[in-house]
Structure 1
Amino acid sequence: MNETFVTIARFQYSSEAQIVKGRLEADGIKTFLKDNITIDTDPLVSNAIGGIKLKVRAEDEKEAKGILKSIKAYALDDNGDPILCPNCGKNEVELYSTIDSFKAFLSFFIGLLTFTLPFHARYKYICENCKTEFPLK
């Protein structure tokens, strides 16, 4: 029998893809990753080749997409509760880092020159629904 595989998700990093792959395999869905070794070898080509492709059998596509939708994680607070947008009240909030001060820029620049991680970073949250940016206090 000739099985046809379809791409259900793309990831920039193989660690994300491996986590989702493991979750799908735990539910009995056969999966495989395409281009993960290439990107592990040279992460800078991830955007150029379209990221790591997570593929499942065509007959499992609907179930796999349902599982992906159910595990879409948004930002949580220290107690594990979803962070709500102060503007619209929805929990479609994600964390991102930003360079919005001289200290953050200087940290980024020194990290860039020394090939180290930045020692100072600012984090903000953004609501995917209304695009409101806010810090968490």
Structure 2
Amino acid sequence: MKENLVKIATYQFSSEAQIFKGRLEAEEIKVYLADQYTIDTDPLVSNAIGGVKLLVAAEDEARAKEVLKELSEYSLDDQGHQLHCPNCDSTKIDYFTNVNDVKSFLAFIFNFLLFGLYPIYTKYEYRCEDCKTKFNLE
């Protein structure tokens, strides 16, 4: 019997999808990932093929969406509390990498272009989605 699967989320990398898959499986929801191995083979095609798709059976769709809604969409501190922007006090904070200094740029060129690898050295920062302020916790 063929199951009727529904896409409930997409992720740029399979590691992200695996985290949410594990959370849904903890709730005993059967989960499938589509295009996971394609993106693991070449992460640069993720945007072209629409990312890793998180699929569940149609009858589990509503419950799976509720479980995902409970999870925080934005960054949390080490104690699990929402981070607040130092400029506007928003809680819409994302954690991202950037290549904006010489050391990061050289690491990117050396590792990615020579070996096809992601950079070993990158700089991480938090960014407020509302006012675009970049900051670190230190």
Shorter-chain TM band: 0.7 to 0.9
Provide Cα deviations, 1:41-70, integer angstroms capped at 9, x if missing partner. Answer: 333332221111111122322221121121
Give the % identical residues.
53
Counterpart mapping for 1:16-27 below 5 A:
16-27=16-27
Provide Cα deviations, 1:97-128, integer angstroms capped at 9, x if missing partner. Answer: 22222333233333335436545432221112
- Which residue of the partner structure matches residue 132 of structure 1? 133
For the residue of structure 2 that corresponds to 1:125, the secondary structure is: strand
Aligned length: 137
TM-fit CA distance, 1:11: 1.6
For the residue of structure 2 that corresponds to 1:53, the secondary structure is: strand
Counterpart mapping for 1:1-80 below 5 A:
3-80=3-80
Counterpart CA distance in 2 for 1:100 and 1:59 is: 46
For the residue of structure 2 that corresponds to 1:48, the secondary structure is: helix
Tell me: CA distance 1:102–1:34, structure 2 relative to 1, closer, same or farther (3 Å).
closer
* AA in 2 matched with 1:39: I
Counterpart CA distance in 2 for 1:17 and 1:119 is: 22
TM-fit CA distance, 1:7: 0.4
Q: Which runs of 5+ in 2 are unaligned?
A: none
Q: Return 92-101 or 110-119, whichever deviates more.
A: 110-119
Q: Which runs of 5+ in 1 are unaligned?
A: none
Q: Return 23-32 or 126-135, whichever deviates more.
A: 126-135
Q: Return 62-71 or 95-104, whichever deviates more.
A: 95-104
TM-score (norm 2): 0.78
Provide Cα deviations, 1:2-47, integer angstroms capped at 9, x if missing partner. Answer: 6422100112222221221121121122221112233233333322
Q: Give 4+ residue runs of structure 1 displaced > 6 Å after superposition.
A: none
Provide Cα deviations, 1:62-97, integer angstroms capped at 9, x if missing partner. Answer: 221121121235323345443210122122211112
Counterpart CA distance in 2 for 1:110 and 1:41 is: 20
* AA in 1 matched with 2:45: V
